[in-house]
Structure formats: structure tokens, C-alpha cells
Structure 1
Amino acid sequence: MVKITKITTQKNTIGRYNVFIDEGKGEKFGFGLDEDILISSGITKGQEISEESLQTIIEKDTAHKCFTLALQYLSYRMRSKKEIRSYLLKKEQNPTHIEEALNRLDEQGYIDDAAFAGAFVRTKVNTTSKGPLIIRKELQEKGITGAAADQAMAYYTFDKELEKAIKLAGGKLHTKAKKSHQEKIQLAQQQLLSKGFSSAAAKEAVSLALKDTDQDTDAELEAVKFQGDKLWRKYSQKAEGYELDQKIKMALYRKGFPMELIQKYIEEAKEKDLY
């Protein structure tokens, strides 16, 4: 049997108590207990208790600490079950206690993956430039799949996706980067795909954004000169004449410049004795 010799409050943790015991060799610190567990266990100073009963009390306190950790983690924002489970595992909590804590949280209405998923998607749609494919992937990483994910993603309609994609595409098409108009179109589509927008939304968004974008001939000519001069510096040390001509033409064509503009650049470059 073990004798409870003293119970004191912990100085740095409100609601926690230190329990001192004597196993026949003098008083020593035994363990810490949460106030709720202390009350429910009914242990008092001077009481004698079996080792088995003592371990049961300690086990209940350990499980309670796991539950408290989960509550603290939830106090900052909504969490999915997977997030809470991962967090508690990192805190080296007993897997059995983790599942018990999750069940209690579920029963008491502290966690709801469907509600979490809905709030998560709405926040991402309203505060980020991410497309639906990335947001769905993030949901999956948080353990939300199947019907719960489908229901949450229903908020991100194609109209919302298209509206967001048009704004992003417009910004890319209006950039002052010295690239061909065609290359800007390709880069705009690539950006949208990389941000998780569907192929259909990316294509339509760029197409609609183009209607509001006047193709600046002077800017296109400036871009072909800029790119052409770079290519000349690259190839002129290894080629000349017709071969150099063709290398620059093909490289500019691959960058999306129209052949008539490329030819105009070549002719002007020759007039300036660049070749």
C-alpha cells in the first residue's frame, strides 16, 4: 500500500496539484494531478491506497492532459481531426489517449470535419489567389476527403474560379516584361495552372483577359529587339551569316514572336551592322 502524505498546489500551473507519497521509505514526490482528477479520485492526505488504484488515477490524469492539450490546440482556430491527431503525436501522447480525446471532442461538439472543411475553403477562396485544385489538395492533407471535401468545395464555383483567374491573367498579360505577346499568354496560363486552376478556367480566363488587353505593337517591337540582341550576343561567337540568321530567327519564333516582326528585327539589325 502507498500512503498519501501531502497534496500541494503547483506554483506555475493553475489547477494542478503535487501529490507526495510514502512507500515505506519516507516521503517523496509521487506525481502531479489535475484538479478534476484529484476531486473525482477522492484521494486525501493520510489515505492509504493500493499501487493498482494509484496507477489507475495516474493513467486517468495522463489521458486528461492529452484532452487538455487538444483543447488548447483548438483554442487558436478550428482544426481537423487529422491535425489534432498529428499534433498530439508530436507531443508524444499515448495513441490510445489520443483517440479517447478525439472521441470526447467529437461528442462535445468541439470538432466537426465538415464544418472545418467549409470554413477552410471559404477562407482560402476569399483571402488567397489559390485555385480549387490546390485547395482540394490542402483539404486532403488535413484529412478531409470524400463527401465532406466535395460539399466544402461546392462553394468554389466555376464562376468564382473564373473571376479570380481573370484578375491573375490580366496582371500577367499587362506586365512590362520584354517578352512576346504570345509568351505572355503562355506564361499567364502556366501561372494559373501552377496555382491550382483547372485547364478550362485557365484557357477561358486568358481568352477573356485578352479582350481587355490592347496588343501594344511598339512594346512588341521593343521586346523582339531586346530578345534578339540577347540572342545575337549568345550565338555570334559560334555562328555567322546565314547560320546565325537562322539560329536567331528560330529562337525568336520559339519565344512567340510573329515571323514578320522577326524579319523586321533582322533587317534593322543588319542595317545597323549588328551582323
Structure 2
Amino acid sequence: MMVTSIIPVDKRKSKVFLEEGFAFVLYRGEVERFGIEEGKELEADVYQRILNEVLLGRAKERALYLLKSSGKTETWMKKKLQEAGYPEEAVSYAMNFLKEYRFIDDRAYAESYVRSYGNRKSRRQLVYELSQKGVSQEEISEAFSGHQVDDVENARQLLRKRLKGKTGISYEEKGRLSAFLGRKGYSYDVINRVMREISTEDREEWPE
């Protein structure tokens, strides 16, 4: 493996590129310690030492740090480690560690997400957001099986918040509110049902 270039990231770190492309990020002292030089061959045993002595443990520690604030999905974590410059071997090592000790569990994440937002968002929006986070359709379905989402009541609550007690809603305003609910993922049937509960003149009390 030929070292094609060493590019500084900042005053402390550098990116190392091999013939195959970008390889990893090291501190400058580590670049010197492993004898990495542009135009010089990087022996396979040295590359393995870099993985074992530096990158595997560092990727694991970075992953644990990223988990401090809140739970994460497997897809999200992989992307963050890759963006941080860790090679695939280090990313796989960190992910295997996280899954073995259940620091990463997409099913548990989906269940927690639905519990947290299931009384504020539409089912369709929740499915979309979880899919964007990399959670599989099977795990999303399992999350909903343990927590029912009431789209009608959630839409009512959203309208209450949007209207702020306003009465005498015009037909034009009802149209805008319907479009607003549509963007939030509510179906035509749900929107039609809750909009019928709004008077176009003096709005009656919301159904309990």
C-alpha cells in the first residue's frame, strides 16, 4: 500500500491517503511514530498495528461519546464514524461492540421514539422520520404494535395549538389548516373528520 498524500486537517491531525484512496486520520505524532511518509510503502503489518493500537479503540470511544446525549440508530452512528475518518475495519469493530452490549438497538430506539412522539405526530410522519434514521420497516412495525397512535386526537391537539382559541374560521382558513395537517402526514379521512368539527362561524367546543 503506497502512501500517496498526507493532508493536514488542523494543527494536530492529518488525513492519510493510500493508492486506494482515503485511509484514516492520525495525530501528527502518530504519523511520525508509524513512519508514514508520502511516496513510501505502508506495510500490511504496520497498517494492522495502526488499527489495533489506535483506530479500533478510538472509534469505539468516539461512538460511546456520541451516545452520551441520546440514543442513536445504527445507520446514524455508522455515518458519523465514517465522516470522522475511521476506516471500515474500525467502524465495524465499534458497531459490533455497541450492538453486543446493546448500546445500539434500532428496535428499542424505534419503540422509544414512538412512545415519545406518538401523542404529538401522525403515524405517517413517525414512519417517515424513523425510516430516514435508518430503522427498518419491520422494526418500525414492531414499535407501533406496542404503542397505538391516535391520529384523530393528535390532529385535534395540533389544531388547538394552531388556532390558539380563535373562533369564526373562514373557508379559506380551513383550507390552509387542511393543507397544514396534510404536510404533517395526516390522511384525508383524518383531516376531513377534524375539520368538520370546526365551525366556519362560531366554533363550538372541541369534542372530548
- The interval holding the TM-score normalised by the smaller chain is 0.5 to 0.7
TM-score normalised to structure 2 length: 0.67
What does residue 232 of structure 1 align with?
none
Alignment of 1:139-150 (within 5 A): 139-150=130-141
Is residue 30 from structure 1 mapped to residue 23 from structure 2 by the alignment? no
What does residue 195 of structure 1 align with?
184
**Structure-1 separation of matches of 2:147 and 2:190:** 12
Question: Which structure 2 residue ranges, 5 or more long, are not aligned?
Answer: 1-26, 35-42, 204-208
Checking the alignment, whether the CA contact within 8 Å between 1:70 and 1:101 is kept in structure 2 is yes
Alignment of 1:87-166 (within 5 A): 87-126=80-119, 129-154=120-145, 157-158=148-149, 160-166=150-156
- Output one character per residue of 1:45-97: Cα deviation in whole Å (capped at 9) or x when no partner: xxxxxx87655332212121111111111122111000101111110110222
Question: Is the radius of gyration larger for structure 1 or structure 2?
Answer: 1
> Structure 2 counterpart of 1:99, which letter?
S
**Structure-2 separation of matches of 1:88 and 1:198:** 38
1:125 offset after TM fit, Å?
2.5
Runs of at least 4 residues off by over 6 Å = none
**Structure-1 separation of matches of 2:161 and 2:51:** 59
Q: Secondary structure at the match of 2:118?
A: helix
Checking the alignment, whether the CA contact within 8 Å between 1:66 and 1:101 is kept in structure 2 is yes
Identical amino acids, percent of aligned pairs: 22
**Structure-2 separation of matches of 1:56 and 1:147:** 37
1:165 offset after TM fit, Å?
0.7
Checking the alignment, whether the CA contact within 8 Å between 2:99 and 2:105 is kept in structure 1 is yes
> Structure 1 counterpart of 2:191, which letter?
A
What does residue 71 of structure 1 align with?
64
**Structure-2 separation of matches of 1:184 and 1:55:** 65
Checking the alignment, whether the CA contact within 8 Å between 1:185 and 1:206 is kept in structure 2 is yes
What does residue 201 of structure 2 align with?
215
Q: Secondary structure at the match of 1:140?
A: helix
What does residue 85 of structure 1 align with?
78
Q: Secondary structure at the match of 1:92?
A: coil
Q: Which has the higher helix share?
A: 1
Checking the alignment, whether the CA contact within 8 Å between 1:132 and 1:156 is kept in structure 2 is no
> Structure 1 counterpart of 2:158, which letter?
L
Aligned residue pairs total 166
Report the aligned-residue RMSD.
3.1
**Structure-2 separation of matches of 1:57 and 1:161:** 55
TM-score normalised to structure 1 length: 0.52
**Structure-2 separation of matches of 1:199 and 1:154:** 23
Checking the alignment, whether the CA contact within 8 Å between 1:132 and 1:198 is kept in structure 2 is no
1:29 offset after TM fit, Å?
5.6
**Structure-2 separation of matches of 1:216 and 1:108:** 58
What does residue 51 of structure 2 align with?
59
Question: Which structure 1 residue ranges, 5 or more long, are not aligned?
Answer: 1-17, 22-27, 32-50, 218-275
> Structure 1 counterpart of 2:50, which letter?
I
Distance 1:104 1:172, change over 3 A: closer
1:171 offset after TM fit, Å?
5.2
